[in-house]
Amino acid sequence: MKKISIILSGLILSAGIANADMLSFSAGVGIEQQKISGYVKNGNTINYFNKKSAETDGNPNTGNLGLKDKNNPYFWVKLIHPIPILPNIKFQYTKYYSTGHSNYIAGNIKIFNDVTIPTALTDANTKMDINSYDITAFYEFNPIFADIEVGAGADIWRGKTQIYDNTTKTEVVNQSFTVVLPYIYGRIETMKLFGFSFLGSAKWAKAGDNHHYDYLAAVKYTIDVPGPVNPFIKVGYRYKEAYGVSGDNTTKLQYKGAFAEIGAKF
């Protein structure tokens, strides 16, 4: 009898691991802090995204774009289906938008090897606007203690950089760029306790000198209401970094900060 109980327990656990939700749709919308940092570099010349001290350090090869930290919106939708061979799908849109002012920008430098800053500037307004379209294909596993997702995807950045020279009253830079950030993906969410659960996710890729990291940790509270809809609120912290090298040009762009979100699972 004891052996039979052990076998049955193993079968139940295996079934729990192998089977995901039969069919579910979930979505969320939120606001996240985006504390911007990093730099663009060409040889010995470097411009920081947000480092005011670089404008006044006396080095003509060191400048700053002067972009400020912002709070920007995002939303996501996720479909989990019962077909075991086909992966589930999640799509997320995130806005990365920042403006600023700089008293010194070094010239002859590129951002993601697409946007050229041709000359040094001593009084400029700056803007960088990125639309992120993030698509993840994943498989879901449901052991007793957690929900686990494993897969891969790509974050496609469609952006534009603008720099206006206040001295000459001309727009020096108005260029668009596209960056594709592939990754492998993992996520875990603990079982609920009094409505609360904890979750973490990672998107990671590295190829040669190039890499992409996207880490998230959060606390989620699911509201117990009658019916098929399970609303929730979520707060957490996110860190994202894109690093690319092309010849002598290097771009390192980082965003980090807290976020707050509301959503529901159907």
Q: What is the DSSP string of 35-103?
A: EEEEEEEETTEEEESS-GGGGSSS-TTEEE--BPPEEEEEEEEEEE-S-SSSPEEEEEEEEEEEEEEES
What are the two backbone dihedrals, phi and then psi, of residue 54, each rounded to the nearest 5 degrees?
A: -70, -20
Residue 226 has pLDDT above 60, yes or no: yes
Condensed to tens digits (0 to 9), the pLDDT of residues 96-143 reads 999 999 999 999 999 988 899 999 999 999 999 999 999 999 999 999
Residue 30 has pLDDT above 90, yes or no: yes
What is the C-alpha to C-alpha distance for residues 228 and 14, in angstroms, rounded to an integer?
27
pLDDT of amino acid 121: 96
Reference 69, options 38, 114, 29; nearest CA is: 38
What is the C-alpha to C-alpha distance for residues 78 and 28, in angstroms, rounded to an integer?
9
**Contact of 179 with 157, CB cutoff 8 Å:** yes
**Contact of 178 with 158, CB cutoff 8 Å:** yes
Domains by residue range for the chain, with CATH: 2-265 (2.40.128)
